Amino acid sequence: MSNIEIRTIAEEVERFIRDSSNLNAKEAEERLLPILRDLLAKDGFDLVGKIRPESTATDYVAHKRPSSGKPYKLGVEYKHYGPEHPVDQRAIDQMLTAAQRSNLEGIILISRPGFTQLALEVAQAYHPFELQLLDFNGLRGWVSRVEKADNGRYSRIIALITELSREAARIIAADPQQLEYLEWRDLERMIAIVLEKLGFQAELTPASKDGGKDVILSLEDNGVVRTYIIEVKHWRSGQRVGQGLAMEFVQVVAREGREGGLFLATYGYTEDAFSSLTEIERSKVRFGSEQKIVNLCQTFVKAECGLWTPALETLMKVLFEGTQ
């Protein structure tokens, strides 16, 4: 699971927690289901959808994908009680009894209002199977654990991919024609890493459903965070970007309240690409082509040599200089 996927899960968890007070029990379960499926998948489980109440003690059952040994069956339950009704000891006892009949090896119980002290003490006692009680902070902790595990497990891979992107930038700075051999996703990643080195905070968005933005840039100015977005088009067909995509990008920048945007198209733009844009829109959104990408790579090489001062004015200049 990539860092981007983990961030997406974390964002979904925060949205769920924020919206939970306005959801009924059924709506809450529907919102929580894909979150649980992703988190459990990270631990090697396949989560089954809603099942018949009489068939098990819990709302859902997750099966461990066995590589060796006995399969592991985990029950997952969510309680959407009001804040004044934390799950008590009696509810835990009932669930433990029912779980034994269902031949579960473990249970995860998630409670919106949390648990009483007695319920927590029961959970900490010995049982023939695992019992985990999670309130919303516990759900956040689950996401954090997954994130830390991934960072530790894939740090060498991430370092390798990052170094490959840096080397690509060095090659393109010296020989711009090499840009043609980069795949579109590799180009997006390279641009994000280049701008990170120059002094921005750069976030590469998911490969699909990115909402018209491939890289999100952040920059602090006197305590105020400014954000910019970058969209990259690197079509093998050599097709030029037209009026429709240019206008869509302007709308994304405006709709999301960004400080500005940079559209990069390696094969340029059609003659009428900017004909419908107003002067105000052109002041917030700029358009660059292959040469702009090459210039960013060349500035990156200077930064690596220590010949770079990432002052605010300098960063704004390097981001938009040489664009239309």
Task: Encode 42-54 in three state secondary structure.
Answer: HCCEEECCCCCHH
- CATH number for the domain harbouring residue 97: 3.40.1350
Number of domains in the chain: 2
Q: Which pLDDT belongs to residue 302?
A: 82
Is 165 inside any structural domain?
no
**Whether residue 323 has pLDDT greater than 50:** yes
**Whether residue 52 has pLDDT greater than 50:** no
18 and 118 share a domain? yes
pTM: 0.54
Residues 6+ apart with CB under 8 A from 19: 31
**Whether residue 228 has pLDDT greater than 50:** yes
130 and 217 share a domain? no
95 and 201 share a domain? no
314 and 181 share a domain? yes
Of 124, 142, 160, which one is at a domain's C-terminal end? Answer: 142
Is 159 inside any structural domain?
no
β-bridge partners, 263? 231, 287
Q: Which pLDDT belongs to residue 4?
A: 56
238 and 121 share a domain? no
- CATH number for the domain harbouring residue 212: 3.40.91.30
Identify the sign of the CA torsion 201, 144, 78, 66.
positive
pLDDT digits (tens, 9 = 90+) for 84-112: 899 998 888 888 887 777 778 778 889 99
124 and 196 share a domain? no
| Spatial separation of the C-alpha atoms in residues 261 and 226, rounded to whole Å | 11
257 and 130 share a domain? no
138 and 179 share a domain? no
**Whether residue 211 has pLDDT greater than 70:** no
29 and 130 share a domain? yes
- Model confidence band, residue 68 (pLDDT cutoffs 50, 70, 90): very low
pLDDT digits (tens, 9 = 90+) for 141-176: 888 777 766 655 556 777 788 889 999 999 999 999
pLDDT digits (tens, 9 = 90+) for 27-45: 998 899 999 998 888 777 8
- Model confidence band, residue 127 (pLDDT cutoffs 50, 70, 90): low
Of 142, 158, 187, which one is at a domain's C-terminal end? Answer: 142
Is 168 inside any structural domain?
no
* Host H or E run for residue 287: strand 285-288
Is 284 inside any structural domain?
yes
Contact 308, 302 (CB under 8 A): yes
133 and 186 share a domain? no
Of 93, 127, 142, which one is at a domain's C-terminal end? Answer: 142
Other CB atoms within a 10 A radius of the CB of residue 27 amount to: 13
**Whether residue 53 has pLDDT greater than 50:** no
Is 74 inside any structural domain?
yes
Please give the residue range of the domain that contains residue 250. Answer: 175-320
Chain centroid to CA 286: how far? 26
